[in-house]
Amino acid sequence: MGPPGLSPAPALAPQRVLRVQLLEAEALVPKDRFLRGALRGRSDPYARVRAGGARFRSRVLREELNPRWNEAYEAIVTDIPGQDVEFELFDKDLDEDDFLGRCRVPLQRVLSNRVVDEWLPLEGVKSGRLHVKLESLSPSASPALLQQP
């Protein structure tokens, strides 16, 4: 207990390492148009990921409605109720990128289950789903331990 008149310091929420694996998507909406919009083609999808205060962006896969990224990202997260891991997909264009859908996973579910490996339906579009694998890992002083699959 601290000196009289001072309240005790608030307890810090536990921190975890969150590994986000952006695996693949399927049945994305075709946004690219050819022949002045007469024909719909494919999309050039990429994903934006937000976990805690960290933000990541995948590479763009050209002319693909069923992309396979197989990318992994790691972020330090704090166990604060109400947080989500958020995914937004876009079609890369020369002018303005087109929206391909969004989905989210409650962070608390990942921290409780340790691993969430799911196909998530994309919201805000007619079709599409995203396959992600999320893992909650203990913080480690050795970065080599985090690199292990």
Mean pLDDT of 13-34: 86
Q: How far apart are CA 31 and CA 43, in angstroms?
A: 5
Containing 33, the helix (H) or strand (E) segment is strand 33-34
CB within 8 Å of 103: residues ≥ 6 apart: 86, 87, 120, 121, 122, 123, 130
Question: Domain-by-domain residue ranges, the chain?
Answer: 15-143
Query: What is 15-143's CATH topology?
Result: Immunoglobulin-like (2.60.40)
Phi and psi at residue 11, to the nearest 5°: -70, 135
Residue 13: partners with Cβ closer than 8 Å, 6 or more residues away = 78, 79, 80
pLDDT confidence of residue 99: 96
This model's pTM is above 0.85: no
Q: Give the range among 3-17, 37-51, 91-105, 122-136 with minimum mean pLDDT.
A: 3-17
